[in-house]
Structure 1
Amino acid sequence: MVIFTRTQRERRSSLSNHGLPARDPPAAETRFEELKRYVAFAAEDAALLRGFRDVAAPHFARIAQEFYDRIRLHDEAHAVFTGEAQIARLQRSLVLWMERLFGGRYDEAYFEDTAKIGRVHVKVGLPQRYMFTAMALIRSSLQRIAEAEGPAGLHVMDAVSRLLDLELAIMLESYRDNFVARIQQVERLERKALDASLARTEHRYVNAVELAHVVIVGLDARGAILLFNQEAERVTGFARDEVIGRPLLECLAIDETGEGAALREVLGGFAATAGEREVVSRAIETAISTRSGQRRSVLWQLTHAPSSGDDVCVFAIGRDTTHEKALLARTKQQEKLAAIGTLAAGLAHEIRNPLNGAQLHVTYLDRSLKRSGAHPELIETVGVVADEIKRLGSLVTEFLAFARPKPLLVKRVMAQTLLERAAQMVAAQAHQHGVAVELDVPPQALELEADGAKLEQVLLNLTQNAVEAVSGEGRAGRVVLRARRQPQTVSFEIEDDGPGIPDDAPIFDAFFSTKAQGTGLGLSISYRIVTDHGGTLDVESKRGCTVFRIVLPLDGPPDSAIRSRMENHG
């Protein structure tokens, strides 16, 4: 059914009265058609882009790598990522996106695909300003490729610019749509609420809640969020209007089978006593999921404080304990290592002197037996004793290295070089057992301030452990040595597809080892070296995938200059 305005009806009637055929109004222009008309994107552009695809395609993987390496330099943009696996997926998606750019098909389906990408950016919370800078990076990369084609590339450059302007406009529409939807949601809430209730809510936010350096969430009797302060927004990454009215457990992805079950039980108990006026408090700790998918620990103080005329009956006051717990765990580990180190130093001192004496006497005995023509079995027995004494001597040396670590000699080192050396040192052992050792490093130089020799020792130890873990399965396996740049840090990862490590194994404790001939000091020494650098050493493990992750500050440990001067001046 077509509906005409009064003016249109009158015009059609006038045309009919004069014997002229009436014409229907033109069909409505779609948003995509309007955008193409605005940037003057024509069929000639589509043909140019389609013809340029074979020239540009070999460069797509490199452009995607450079694009995400640049993102690593910016804290706010990098914060939306959950890990390296996600970044790898996004790089592959960016390659597919560039292939679609030069596909030659620019219809409504193309428009919807681009709009979907924009909605994903909105969902993960990517700041809008990065859309412009990201498109500028890709534009300059593609234009350099077009320039290399000579005069023929000039027309392609214009077509690329118009198409990227279209992409940017479509994606930014998603931000506009999201903003409009949020405004409409706020308006709906305002229409439903009474003026007096709104005034009380604003007063509560401004005078108390917003200035507190703790997470404050107000819940109704069903556990839905009615109050969400600035600190809650900062810790979770969610904006207030995104969570209002949603259940707390669902919004923050709190596991309802574990800690969340206890939290739900507490909230249910409060709901059952909603009519009572008594103030009741309970403390509980849970893990929450932020908007970017990161997990954080929060210690909640739940207070049931109902009051007449207010829908908020439970205040959940939380403190982010993620860094605190990690620091406490590292402190305990360092204290444990220090205590064991003191014991190891004393033990090594007591053993070394008699061990040296025994070594001298066994050497003298070996020479005497050989000169006197003693029985070969007797000489062999003395040789076994000498070898065992040497092994004990090596163990004592390792004890002392653990107990009395030398100061760091900090200088500029390259991450790629450290990993390449570790891979070379285990190459023969890995080849013998059919284990493939792979390097996954960025093409650009990745430098940091560190003690290269000690850091190389850590990487070699972790790589050898990974090769041994995989080869112990009696099958061909894979070990990946990876380095990545974050805004202020460098991460190293040693990943293997071996049997995994039990969750309760105290692998960083001194003298704990799963190897028959292991001293149990390798990982303890590695842990100490990493923490001396001001970094962290963690492990994630399940069957078929174990990842040891080292994170180090780019600028070295806080006292790196002092340590360097100590070494340089003896």
Structure 2
Amino acid sequence: MRSLAARMFLAFAVALAAFGLAALFAVGRMHALGTDLRLLSEGYLPLTRIAAQIDVKDWVTARALEVKAMDPAARRVFLPVARAHFPAVVKEKLSEARAVLARARGFASGADARFFAEVSARVDALDARWTAYDQAAGALFAALERGDAGADDPALAERVEAVRRLEKGLSLDVKLLQAALDGQVADRVHAAERADRRSVLLVVLYSVLAAAVGLGAMLIGQRLLAPIRVLTDGVKAVARGDLSRKVEVRSKDELGLLAREFNAMAASLERQRAELLRAERLAAVGRISAQITHEIRNPLNAIGLNAELLAEELSGAAGSPEALALVQAIGREVDRLGGVTEEYLRFARLPRPAYAPEDLNEVLAALCEFVRPELAAARVALRLALAEDLPPVRADEGQLRAAFLNLLRNSREAMPGGGEVTVATRRAADGGAEAEVRDTGPGIPAEALPRIFDPFYSTKEKGTGLGLAFAQQVVQEHGGTIRCDSAPGAGTTFTVRLPRGEDRSGAAAGMEALEA
């Protein structure tokens, strides 16, 4: 059974995970965008600026052509100045480009790392070409200073042409580097714009999905907690006195268990209230019965005694047989009324039970042998089916015999034309003992079943309605239960369950404490 807390935690954990994944994706895309911006700001743009600053002009060839047209005195003055102005910025920019490349390759990856490696190779090649150009230019200026050749010397013209070719090669390399950097920067900018648009769209999409998951988790939470409202309504109904209210919660978590326990509690309270009302009615009936019986029994005894005396007088004298028969009928009715008053008194003043471990099989077997002749005279067959492994019960033998005697006589009276009564015992599921009194009579109508244990209620013409009420009272005093199963035409079965001798229920123990 998965607990409510676990399911609530799972629902909100899923929602939290959804928001966490959306946040991680957003953070990842922002990190990637930050890396792209860093590559642009710390890598591509500085390299593009450096490449633009490397401006290779015809420094040497232009100066050489000017020197060729000068006289020797002017040439000696001009050459030191020209050599002093020979640009050193290219070397500085190449060193700066290497530093930028070293930093950018530290955090670049993939295509960017490969491109920076290619740019680094281009810078190394450019540095080597510039070194060669620097050496050639230095040699040309040195030759011009020494005056090794005249202005029209073919060797000087050839040397100037060689330096010019180096200058053009350097210029071409620088332009190719600038073009490569410009193209890469444009591609990276477009890629960053596309990635930014895609990231915004995906972040919005994932955020909407995370919100949907969160909404689903909230709805699941509300659904899981919905039974609480049902339980609250049930508690309010029970507080108003509606003990028949049932809470319908079908979940298998703590709320379902609470609902089932609540229903059991309400049913128990309803049973206890019904038992309390019945006990109050029985107490009132007992008091009234005892008072009425006390007022009637003494006059009945006097009437019976006088009827016996009158019968003796009539039988001894020459009295008429009709008068003697009437007096004898009066005596019989007085005896019957005396028996009824004794039954009322026994019901109203049930003595305190004297509990002792008893073998239910022995009690029932002895009782059946006692009533067998009575049942046989009424053409009722008696059959015993006693279990062998029956546990002992803690009971008052006399009261228990009286209760089962009432059940047997009730079965006999239900079959005036004869039939069969079966007395069976078995071990109860809770470790106690159960006894059944089953007859083959006409059964009890369904509308009468709820009232058969009520005092003074009887379906028989001459019944007092106290036999089954007395049996129920005795069984409940012993901490047991009695149940009747019957249907018209299918007979009647009374099932009595008694607890084990050492596990007598708290009902009888509480009664003993009150009586003590």
TM-score by length of structure 2 reads 0.48
Q: Quick check: which one's helix share is greater?
A: 2
Asked which structure has the greater RCO (Cα within 8 Å, sep 6+), the reply is: 2
Question: Could you tell me the TM-score, scaled by structure 1's length?
Answer: 0.44
Larger Rg belongs to? 2
More strand by share: 1
